[in-house]
Chains A and B, each alone.
Chain A
Amino acid sequence: MAEPQATYTWKENNACTATYKVLEGDKFLDQFEDADIPFAKAASIKLKTLRYFPKTTTNPQIIEVLSLEIARKFVTDIVKVFTVSKQNTATSSATIISSIAKIFADGEKTIKDLAEVVDSNIKFPDEA
């Protein structure tokens, strides 16, 4: 599994725009409206404020199950929109989904943190 960079910059590359588009899109995860959270302000938004994150329970087992489910849907939607491949052939698709699920499970993580893990594991067309 590829390790995230020491510092990651939120910018209009494929990884950040794919993360934003899949989280925001009505046809995808529909977690917020672009009028409320435009791309430029999305980086610092904590995942616990998004619609998928449970507010009536702190049960860690339920949150773990939820994070794996939404991570799979997230990757499915990215594959629908972009022609992507793995950054590292040796890393399994299951490991990549699990890495993304770990971010979804931690409400203190931000949308930028999610984009960073996406970028470090998934190769987009703008990466030659």
Chain B
Amino acid sequence: MKYLIPVLTASALIAPAFASSAETDTPGNSSFEFNPVVVDSKNGTGSTVGVEYKFKGNLLTKSFDSKESSNVLDPNATIGSAVIGYSGSGTVAASKDRNPKNFLEFQLDAKLRYSGPGKGTVLGGLFAKYETNQSFTNKQFVYGLGGTYGKYAVFGENDFVAFDANYGRVDPKGDVERKSALGSAPIDPYYRWNLEFLYMVPIRSATVKSVEFNYRYFLENNAPAAIKSAALDEHQLGTIRIGLKNDFFLAYSAGKLPFDRKNTQIIQLGVSYKFN
């Protein structure tokens, strides 16, 4: 149960603070951003321009922070809250057939949040997610439990490590690739692990500003033989990105996400745009 352990951990840590106070924020706190990219796949059909997008917002936030009677600002204050929120992310390419990251996600979740000084921050709770490719020809619905842990300044002053894990039930009725692989067999729901790791570190040099590594892994539990033979039971994508001066970057990815069928290596060259 990928989300279960973080949920229990978060609940145990936050519970003592529940008696102190509760503050409810109004909905809002939404954000949307996009970044233009040029992507090229070694085994694909060529380069294409696209946009990486992401949005998120909170529908309800209930804080369990302790009340304070002094005007002293304490950077070591413990933070605890319950949040119901929504989010979405993905890459949309001008040529959908050339999109090597053809995987869009839209999520609704309810989670507990805890952050303590020197301990890192943990989130855990329930989620429901809609996953599709850019043309919506392949799609599926996933719900389950999830948790995220992250900590700043682990190996150095300003590096960051995060681990995100989800375990959910997938309804693949709209997954045409799966239907094709199964043939006449019924297309039943299944359970899937979804793991993600991130490490980032700033670099103090004349040309390189930062180095970032991201790894995503999907694994179906007890996949049928037909799904295994079609290589649809396991997906992984690793990306390393080197941030350069003047907002240029070089990124290299190996692997594929669910719904990607033909690409195994992606090289991205680009510049971060500033829309002021």
Interface set of A (CB-CB < 8 Å, partner B) = 26-27, 29-31, 36, 44-46, 48-49, 51-52, 54-66, 68-70, 72-73, 75-76, 78-79, 84-86, 89-90, 92-98, 102, 105-109, 122-123
Contacts and interface: CB of A to CB of B under 8 A. Distances in A.
Interface residues of B, number: 76
The 5 tightest CB contacts between A and B, nearest first, are: A58-B89, A65-B150, A94-B65, A56-B214, A69-B152
B164 interface: yes
A13 B145 CA distance: 46
Interface of B: 23, 29, 31-33, 35, 52-54, 56, 63, 65-81, 85, 87, 89-90, 107, 109, 111, 113, 115, 117, 120-123, 146, 148-153, 157-158, 160, 162, 164, 196, 198, 200, 202, 204, 209-210, 212-214, 216, 239-241, 243, 245, 247, 249, 251, 272, 274, 276
Given A48-B272, A102-B29, A73 B152 contact: yes
A44 to B, nearest CB: 5
A58 B162 contact: no
A62 B249 CA distance: 21
B71 A57 contact: no
Contacts of A72: 75, 115, 117, 152
A51 B75 contact: no
Given A57-B214, A85-B72, A31 B77 contact: no
B200 A54 contact: yes
Nearest to B239: A56
Contact of B158 (A29, A75, A90, A123): A29
Given A44-B276, A49-B247, A122-B73, A56 B158 contact: no
A68 B123 CA distance: 11
Contacts of B78: 94
B77 A97 contact: yes
A105 B63 contact: no
A41 to B, nearest CB: 11
